[in-house]
Structure 1
């Protein structure tokens, strides 16, 4: 039986294909992992990355409370969720760039040996 992601009906799924990230500029720092997986990128998060994610969420939650007058609590929770999501995506990108040599990565180089 063909799945919804089976475009040509041969039983193979296209969902597992990898699409490498190409950068406009060559790496300026040592490359630790040229094509990191999502798990590798998340495992590379530092304490500062998690702190920044939490601070972004907290700041967004406070702003949601301040500007969400009739439904302050729900606005706070919604903006907290959006802030955590946006903070996570931003730090995910930074972690990926550090592994790929696009941002300074001294700690990653030390950990890789």
Structure 2
């Protein structure tokens, strides 16, 4: 039993030694999985995601039918295919952002549990990641304004 606890602590320490568990930003909600795969994302979809896909697909079919006058059904089918593609991308984006902690995810945290090591949320401090506008650009980049012709 003591050996298992030791290996669990080693695993958690290796996670905490990483520079950041999130690659691109600080999430505002608990992280469930910092890098979820498509299967886990599809398993965690909500009813609102399926409704979004239904409305996007049917709305794009209606758009193709209304505005595709000479060949209504062909245009409607093509628009529906494009709408289905956009709906699939939107569903995966919403589900993945909930698992990564960028959207509200209380239901998912209750179902799947939180990731063992949560990233620390830092304030926006000046640096490479959060540059500060200094206003000291060279005249070759932004030449000074010529106010002579503004009467």
Same fold (TM over 0.5): yes
Q: Distance in 1 between matches of 2:23 and 2:89?
A: 18
Deviation above 6 Å: which 4+ runs of structure 1? none
Q: How many residues align?
A: 92
Give 1:76's aligned residue: 76
Correspondence list, 1:1-113, <5 A = 22-23=23-24, 25-113=25-113
Return the TM-score normalized by structure 1: 0.77
1:71 Cα deviation from its structure 2 partner:
0.4
Q: Distance in 1 between matches of 2:95 and 2:75?
A: 30
The secondary structure found in structure 2 opposite 1:41 is helix
Q: Distance in 1 between matches of 2:35 and 2:73?
A: 41
Q: Distance in 2 between matches of 1:110 and 1:102?
A: 16
Return the TM-score normalized by structure 2: 0.58
Q: Distance in 1 between matches of 2:94 and 2:102?
A: 9
Structure 2 portions without partners, runs of 5+: 1-21, 114-151
Q: Distance in 2 between matches of 1:50 and 1:22?
A: 28
1:22 Cα deviation from its structure 2 partner:
2.8
Q: Distance in 1 between matches of 2:38 and 2:65?
A: 33
1:53 Cα deviation from its structure 2 partner:
0.5
Structure 1 portions without partners, runs of 5+: 1-20
- Structure of higher CA gyration radius: 2
Deviations 1:71-111 (A, max 9, x none): 00011111111101101101211110000001110110111
Quote the RMSD (CA, aligned, Å): 1.3
